[in-house]
């Protein structure tokens, strides 16, 4: 465990061990912080990412610094972070401070210049976001909001919304997410059990329909109607 403490010099193996320990430690920290910190980089999440990255980076690049202090500091910050999230759930005014409400960038087809200045973005950036959503005309936008995580929520005028079956009260099939029963030549037995099928049934169907073995299947899925889709290695 000499690599864990400060040293005058470190061997190649000790540098590798530091990197491995630091990597695993950060994985645990990310898990403790939860999915929100990963998927939504809000103000408090951004601050945490900057601080944690800086703390862990130093002992991974400077042999004269031990890892113990950095890891203790990181743990304390994670406790403060999770405590801060809990506090925001209990006290609304703190939530508004750390996670401010959205404000409009476009309203009724008109660009809100004050909103652009507040968000510190340019018209070019706004137009780029509209293009991503395949919106070519600003006048079609009923409302565009700047969210606290830096993303833009866009709502079209009702007359420009895509036509859906609900508008005409049409009956549609219920949502069905196909199950992955083979991935890269490996059968997922658990998924087969949930649809009351076995490996023999699957192998027989693949041989009869595609004249190949399971080992040659890149991906195979099945839906509630027992429609089997098979994608072979190419």
Select from 95, 125, 150 the last residue of a domain: 95
89 and 22 belong to one structural domain: yes
Select from 95, 130, 149 the last residue of a domain: 95
6 and 89 belong to one structural domain: yes
Residue 166 lies inside a defined structural domain of this protein: no
90 and 10 belong to one structural domain: yes
Residue 204 lies inside a defined structural domain of this protein: yes
147 and 186 belong to one structural domain: no
Report CA-CA distances (Å) from 108 to 53, 125, 155, 213, 227. 42, 19, 10, 58, 45
Return d(Cα 231, Cα 166) in angstroms, integer: 33
65 and 90 belong to one structural domain: yes
60 and 89 belong to one structural domain: yes
Model's pTM, two decimal places? 0.58
Residue 74 lies inside a defined structural domain of this protein: yes
Residue 170 lies inside a defined structural domain of this protein: no
Structural domains in the chain (count): 3
Is residue 36 over pLDDT 60?
Answer: no
Band of residue 134 on the pLDDT scale cut at 50, 70, 90: very high
87 and 18 belong to one structural domain: yes
Please report, for the domain that includes residue 227, its CATH number: 3.30.240.20
Residue 165 lies inside a defined structural domain of this protein: no
Instruction: Give 140-153 pLDDT, tens digit per residue.
Output: 999 999 987 788 99
Instruction: Give 79-120 pLDDT, tens digit per residue.
Output: 877 777 777 777 777 666 667 789 999 999 999 999 999 888
Find all residues with CB under 8 Å of 98, minimum gap 6, and list them: 42, 43, 44, 84, 88
Residue 171 lies inside a defined structural domain of this protein: no
Residue 77 lies inside a defined structural domain of this protein: yes
> If you average pLDDT over every residue of the chain, what do you get?
82
The domain containing residue 48 runs over which residues?
2-95
Of 131, 129, 132, 134, nearest to 151 (Cα)? 129
């Amino acid at each position: 465990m000499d690599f864990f403490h400060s040293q005058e010099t470190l061997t190649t193996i000790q540098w590798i061990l530091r990197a491995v320990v630091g990597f695993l430690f950060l994985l645990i920290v990310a898990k403790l912080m939860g999915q929100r910190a990963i998927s939504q980089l809000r103000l408090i999440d951004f601050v945490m990412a900057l601080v944690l990255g800086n703390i862990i980076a130093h002992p991974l690049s400077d042999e004269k610094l031990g890892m113990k202090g950095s890891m203790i500091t990181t743990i304390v910050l994670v406790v403060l972070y999770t405590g801060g999230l809990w506090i925001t759930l209990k006290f609304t005014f703190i939530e508004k401070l750390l996670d401010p409400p959205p404000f409009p960038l476009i309203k009724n087809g008109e660009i809100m210049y004050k909103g652009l200045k507040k968000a510190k973005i340019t018209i070019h950036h706004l137009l780029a976001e509209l293009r991503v959503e395949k919106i070519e005309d600003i006048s079609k936008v009923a409302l565009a909001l700047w969210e606290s995580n830096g993303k833009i929520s866009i709502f079209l005028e009702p007359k420009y919304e895509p036509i859906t079956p609900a508008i005409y009260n049409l009956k549609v099939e219920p949502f069905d997410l196909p199950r992955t029963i083979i991935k890269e030549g490996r059968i997922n037995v658990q998924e087969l059990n949930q649809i009351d099928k076995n490996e023999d049934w699957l192998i027989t169907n693949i041989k009869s329909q595609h004249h190949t073995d399971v080992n040659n299947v890149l991906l195979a899925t099945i839906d509630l109607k027992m429609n089997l889709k098979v994608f072979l290695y190419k």
